[in-house]
Chain A
Amino acid sequence: MTEQVEGEGALLEVRGLTVSAGARSILRAVSLRLEARSSWAVVGPSGVGKSTLLRCFNRLVDLTPALRVEGEIRFRGVSVRGADVDVDALRARMGFLFQQPVVFPRSIRENVWFGARRVRGLGRGALEALVERVLVAAGLWEEVKDRLAEPAARLSVGQQQRLCLARALAMEPEVLLLDEPTSALDAHSRALVEDSLQRLRGVCPLVLVTHDLEQARRLTDGMACFERRGDAGELVRFERW
């Protein structure tokens, strides 16, 4: 963290974050600072709260009312937890990829512009151009360019995950939050998704939750390592390679 460029702020900054469900803690007293212009991995065993941390960043945790969140999170210097934060606008700035791809029961094309049409309010022409651009970036264009009107559910799981990546990119996010995006995929699909992410990390910082240390080394510049202490996950090591 000493290599930080002068004048460059943090991408995400967490101070004293504790998440609990009733009496049970999920994350305890997490403090960390992820620099901008770099990509980061969050690693650790299952059930240590990695996904929960990611969901705190874009406040998807709000959708689970049973979770209590304490502490401070700043995204590019601005608190994400204030009462006056426009949560929808915040989420639109952060792309999110789930472990299992979630495609809507619509065509491939409509899935790609699902968020962009509604949130960014783009017109038809802009959307058509956007679809090609983000599908190319997600490494899916060649496979689907002739069947954009087909239902997205007909794609393989690996293709669906790349479609979800394209859908997130269509929002022109400032960061991509990736929640074990390749763990549900076969080796071939995993390699394709990784290729896309490898190309993207120069343009848009990644925060990658993963079990796979090798993958973390391939795709990111450093990692925050979590372990279970008692019932809750704690940050035990932070390193840059």
Chain B
Amino acid sequence: MRRRVDLAFTLVTACGACVACAVLGGIVAALLVRGLPAVSWRFLTEQIRLVGADGGIFYNLVGTLILLATALMVSAPVAMGLALVEGVYLAGAARWRRRVHLAIYLLNGVPSLLFGLFGFVVFVKYLDWGKSWLTGGLLLGMMMVPTVTVALTERIRGLPRAYVEAAAGLGLSRSQIIWSVILPQSLTGWLTGTLLGLARAAGETAPIMFTATIFAGATIPSGVKESPVLSLPYHIFVLSQDSFDPAVGARVWGTAVVLLGVVGGLSLLALPFRLRQHEEARHD
């Protein structure tokens, strides 16, 4: 009886894994079959022409990279500060730590569309920036903060206490301990969280569609106000809704393949750091 339950359980979990893999494989295969023929050097290096029916997605790719770079720079200090507050400064105050923890998870649960609306009300309207790459970067950065913070906090909390005691025993102040012991040794956690967060941010449409990105007519932004960028996800969003031109269709799939490449590349970059983390966890 017990063996049968065991077997059934194994089958169910295996089925779950197969379904997940099949869905992923199906999406990737469908994208590649339809999109790969459209991807060429010209496609990647030319700008959009004929409302997406000709030309390439150069500035869409550049725009997405600008948004991601901004999000990276926004999320890094905020997430590090938050992780240090939670993992170091509140280490002895369990109740406050739980509250901060809850806030981080709530932030993670805020729908991306609400980030977009918030950005629209505050930056686009109230601060009168119009559509701006900076708003998009700020919003995507804030959306990444929970992912980065959790990865970093786990690393900080997993750090052997002996390191902190040894550094304190030498007379290092708390900030010196943070800079020379805690942060350097949690860097892989930060990097993992950041790459995973960026991978998710790269595909987000809702936070940037009213605040940062337009369909055509933008290149490299030169200021903050009224300085939108093009982007990959918004390009796909607009063309897949509005166009029945087959030439456009192929390019939409091509754009999707490029977006998948960006996301997949970032996730793959995170892999070695995550493996190393697990490796170290096993040794401790």
Residues of A in contact with B (beta carbons under 8 Å apart): 58, 60, 63, 65, 88-93, 95-96, 98, 100, 102, 104-105, 114-115, 118-119, 164, 167-168, 171
Q: 0/1 per residue, B58-95, Cβ < 8 Å to A?
A: 00000000000000000000000000000000001000
Closest 8 CB pairs of A and B: A92-B171, A115-B170, A96-B169, A65-B92, A102-B166, A91-B171, A102-B162, A119-B171
A17 to B187: give the CA distance in the assembly, Å. Answer: 41
A76 to B169 CA separation, bound complex (whole angstroms) = 18
A58 nearest in chain B by CB position: B169
Is B46 close to A, CB under 8 A?
A: no
Complex Cα spacing A220 to B181, Å? 34
Q: Is B168 interfacial (CB-CB < 8 Å)?
A: yes
Distance A100 CA – B167 CA, assembled complex (angstroms):
14
Cβ 8 A contact of B173, one of A88, A167, A171:
A88
In the assembled complex, the Cα of A64 lies from the Cα of B110 at a distance in Å of 36
> Which residues on the A side are within 8 Å of B181 (C-beta)?
104
- State the CA gap A96–B170 with chains docked (Å): 7
When distances are taken between beta carbons in the complex, the residues of chain B under 8 Å from A102 are: 162-163, 165-166
- In B136-193, the 8 Å CB interface with A consists of 162-173, 176, 180-181, 185
Q: Which residues from B are CB-within-8-Å of A88?
A: 168, 171-173
Contact between chains at B162 and A114 (CB < 8 Å): no
**Closest residue of B by beta carbon distance from A105:** B185
Collect the chain A residues with CB atoms within 8 Å of residue B167's CB.
104, 114-115
What is the interface of chain A mostly: helix, strand, loop, or mixed? helix
- B interface, by DSSP: helix, strand, loop or mixed? helix
Are B164 and A63 touching (Cβ within 8 A)? yes
**A171 close to B92 (CB less than 8 A):** no
Interface size class of B (residues with CB under 8 A): 10 to 19
How distant is the Cα of A119 from the Cα of B167 in the complex, in angstroms?
Answer: 11
**A104, B163: Cβ atoms closer than 8 Å:** yes
* Nearest A-chain residue to B161, judged by Cβ: A63
In the complex, which residues of chain B have a beta carbon less than 8 angstroms from the beta carbon of A91? 168-171
A63 CB contacts on chain B under 8 angstroms? 164-165, 168
A96 nearest CB across to chain B (Å): 4
Smallest CB–CB gap between B39 and chain A, Å? Answer: 42
> Are A98 and B166 closer than 8 Å at their CB atoms?
yes
Complex alpha-carbon distance, A104 and B180, angstroms: 10
> Closest residue of chain B to A93, judged by CB?
B171
24 intermolecular pairs with C-beta atoms under 8 Å apart = A58-B169, A60-B169, A63-B164, A63-B165, A63-B168, A88-B173, A90-B171, A91-B168, A91-B170, A92-B171, A96-B169, A96-B170, A98-B166, A102-B163, A104-B167, A105-B185, A114-B180, A115-B167, A115-B171, A119-B171, A119-B172, A119-B176, A168-B169, A171-B171
Query: In the assembly, what is the distance between CA of A65 and CA of B92, in Å?
Result: 6
Query: Which single residue of chain B is at the shortest CB-CB distance from A62?
Result: B168
Interface core residue of A58, A96, A167 (most chain B CB under 10 Å)? A96
B179 to chain A, nearest CB (A): 9
Determine if B180 and A118 form an interchain contact, defined as CB atoms under 8 angstroms apart: yes
Q: Which residues of B contact A119 (CB under 8 A)?
A: 170-172, 176
Rounded to whole angstroms, the CA-CA distance of A92 and B176 in the bound complex is 13
Q: Mark B40-67, 1 if CB is under 8 A from A, else 0.
A: 0000000000000000000000000000
Cβ of B168: which chain A residues have Cβ within 8 Å of it? Answer: 60, 63, 88, 91
A115 to B171 Cα, complex, angstroms:
7
A sample of 5 more A-B contacts (CB under 8 A), given A91-B169, A114-B170, A167-B170, is: A91-B168, A92-B170, A96-B166, A115-B172, A118-B180
Report the nearest A residue to B169, measured CB to CB: A96
Partner of A118, one of B92, B163, B172, B185: B172
What B residues does A95 contact at CB under 8 A?
169
- The residue in chain A whose Cβ has the minimal distance to the Cβ of B91 is A65
Q: Within the complex, which residue of B92, B165, B172, B173 is in contact with A98, where a contact is CB–CB below 8 Å?
A: B165
Residues of B106-150 whose CB lies within 8 A of A: none
User: Assuming the A-B contacts A91-B171, A115-B172, are A98 and B185 also in contact, with contact meaning beta carbons closer than 8 angstroms in the complex?
Assistant: no
- Using Cβ atoms and an 8 Å threshold, which residues of chain B touch A105? 185
**CB of B168 to closest CB in A, whole Å:** 6
CB neighbours of B171 from chain A (8 A): 88-93, 115, 119, 171
A93 to B169, CA, bound (A): 10
